[in-house]
Structure 1
Amino acid sequence: MASGQAGGQDTRTRVLEAAGQLFRRQGYTGTGLKQIAAESRAPFGSIYHFFPGGKEQLADDVIRVSGPEYGQLVLSLLNGVPDPLEALDSAFRMAAERLAATDYADACPIATIALEVASTNETLRTATADVFAGWIAGATAWFGRFVPDEERAKTLAYAMISMLEGAFVLARAARSGEPLLAAGRSIADLARAAMNEG
């Protein structure tokens, strides 16, 4: 019984991971359930077993699992360097390197879906909005360690995430890490100015 449950969890995890990668690369509408089943090496029927709501429920779960994980990854990169300005530059540099390593295919785990469904699917729009709100809260707390004014810290959080998401789009289109490097320098400049005001 326990091994069957473990096997089921393993299949569900494989489906989630395959769907997440395909959604990042191809978008929500460009990804079919048969492709997800093939990529995850799972029987097609298992998708509906684990996600009775079909593709929408699967995408909602992907967003709500991978989104917070990505937010924690960004915060771990920022927390890995003591100096906040160096940390920002380093995090954006790492993002550029990781994107290049995937041949500019894998960027933010939810941005592609967010752009695609914001006006057409309320369930997925809400999921992406919730993830972004979590990112803003985490980044606001991180900036708040160096910028005492909470509104200023929140503004920096919005700026950082907007720059990161926009830079991913430009970098994928140009097949160049320069937009991410430039965004890293820019958010570091904004943070420096805010810290000097404090």
Structure 2
Amino acid sequence: MARSTRESILTATAELMRVKGFGAVGMKDVVVASGAPIGSIYHHFPGGKTQIAREALVAAGAAYGLLIPTLVAPHDDLGEALESVFAQAATDMAETGFANMCPVGTVAAEVADTVEELRDATAAVFTGWLDGGTAYFASRGIPPTAARDLTITVVSALEGAFILARSLRDAEPLGAVGRVLGARYRGTTLAPGVSLTDNVGADH
């Protein structure tokens, strides 16, 4: 199914911010990347660049929030699952020439003290990831408090390792974190998985 103009604008903006952050993306960039005329962009987003960025972050955040549960789903050992998550992230970074993996983390660090509307948006996305991840790991048999701690650890480790890997142009940080977490949690059995939509709501 063809994407709507609105969806094309949001997808293009998310991709631009993934690579360039918020400040370096101009409306002309959005026009070129989305193929939408400038008048159409302001028709759909009268609030301009900040509104587009906010909605693009929310939409991208919902998709990225499903990645960890999707990668963990095939595993019944938590340690093996976590090592697999970070190994896949390392492969993806290397294969993309160490491009940034996530627009949310990029923009969050950039605007935390400067654009409150976008800080709120990134905070809401992170909250969704943490709540969704906690619910998912709890559904796989991890006690709720431990599931929360685990989710915070995994998200924090991924975002931090992404920064190191991009700066060093080396996937070693992702591989190292995966091995450490894998060793820490190997032998922790996960209960059979259930549908992701039962644990990660549409608003996350």
Where does residue 37 of structure 2 map in the other structure? 43
Which structure dedicates a bigger proportion of its chain to helix? Answer: 1
Q: Distance in 1 between matches of 2:40 and 2:74?
A: 39
Two-structure CA RMSD over aligned residues (Å): 2.0
The alignment status of 1:119 with 2:113, answered yes or no, reads yes
Q: Distance in 1 between matches of 2:136 and 2:6?
A: 33
Where does residue 31 of structure 1 map in the other structure? 25
The alignment status of 1:174 with 2:168, answered yes or no, reads yes
- Farther off after superposition, 75-84 or 46-55: 75-84
1:86 Cα offset (Å): 1.1
Output aligned runs, 1:41-190, within 5 Å: 41-144=35-138, 145-148=140-143, 150-190=144-184
TM-score calculated relative to the size of structure 1 = 0.87
Would you say the 8 A contact 1:22–1:31 is kept in 2?
A: yes
Q: Distance in 1 between matches of 2:46 and 2:74?
A: 40
Please, which runs of 5 or more residues in structure 1 have no aligned partner?
A: 1-5
Where does residue 12 of structure 2 map in the other structure? 18
Q: Distance in 2 between matches of 1:182 and 1:131?
A: 26
Please, which runs of 5 or more residues in structure 2 have no aligned partner?
A: 190-204
Q: Distance in 1 between matches of 2:167 and 2:19?
A: 13
Deviations 1:6-61 (A, max 9, x none): 98x62222211111111011000011010111111111222111111101110110
Would you say the 8 A contact 1:89–1:184 is kept in 2?
A: yes
Q: What is the aligned length?
A: 188
TM-score calculated relative to the size of structure 2 = 0.85
Deviations 1:51-91 (A, max 9, x none): 11101110110111000110112211111323221111111
